[in-house]
Amino acid sequence: MVAGTRGTIRSTSPEDQQGKWGVYAMPSLTADGAHAANLGGSALAISSTSDAPEAAYAFLKYALATNEGQVTMLKAYGLVPSLLSAVDDPYVQEAQPFWGGQTVWQTILQTLPAINPSRGTPFFGDADAIVRTVQSQYLNGGYDSAQAALDDAASQIEVVTGLPVAAAQ
């Protein structure tokens, strides 16, 4: 489990959840498929109106371009390092109490080389928001079937993007 703007299981769970969670490689759709994926990341900018742009840049350079900065964020928030050399930090090998003593960072970070690049479109944000909403509605009993939810999401995406829904093959 990794962090995003929505937090992480570890940082948002009640104290009594410690030791009740674990991680494993995600399933693959094919026998030889990747057991890894990523959908996340951040974009950072220093405002031209900043009173201290040099200090802001120095902080970003420390946080993003040093093993210490990357591992600090991993420890505190579960943010997966983007600096690949940070995955060699000894902390990655340590058993994590919240995760029942599992070496979760070793399990998660060893999947990084297997992540296939994804391609986005200018419509990704709109489509993603629709899918998230429809998925929540489906999980709360708002649709008679998964197919009905998928069809509704496709229809909404078609309206928002102006792109036709591809015919089933």
Question: How confident is the model over 82-122, as pLDDT tens digits?
Answer: 898 998 999 999 999 989 999 999 988 888 888 887 777 88
Task: Quote the pLDDT of residue 4.
Answer: 37
- For residue 144, being part of any structural domain is answered with yes
**Reported pTM:** 0.67
**Domain end position, chosen among 91, 114, 137:** 114
Render the burial of 29-56: b for 16+ CB within 10 Å, e for the rest. Answer: eeeeeeebeeeeeeeeeeeeeeeeeeee
Q: Which residue range is the domain that position 81 belongs to?
A: 9-114
Whether 69 and 142 share a structural domain = no
Whether 144 and 77 share a structural domain = no
Instruction: Give yes or no for residue 13 having a pLDDT over 50.
Output: yes
Ranking 27-41, 117-131, 137-151 by mean pLDDT, the lowest is 27-41
Instruction: Give yes or no for residue 169 having a pLDDT over 80.
Output: no
Amino acid letter at 12?
Answer: T
Q: How confident is the model at residue 159 (pLDDT cuts 50, 70, 90)?
A: very high
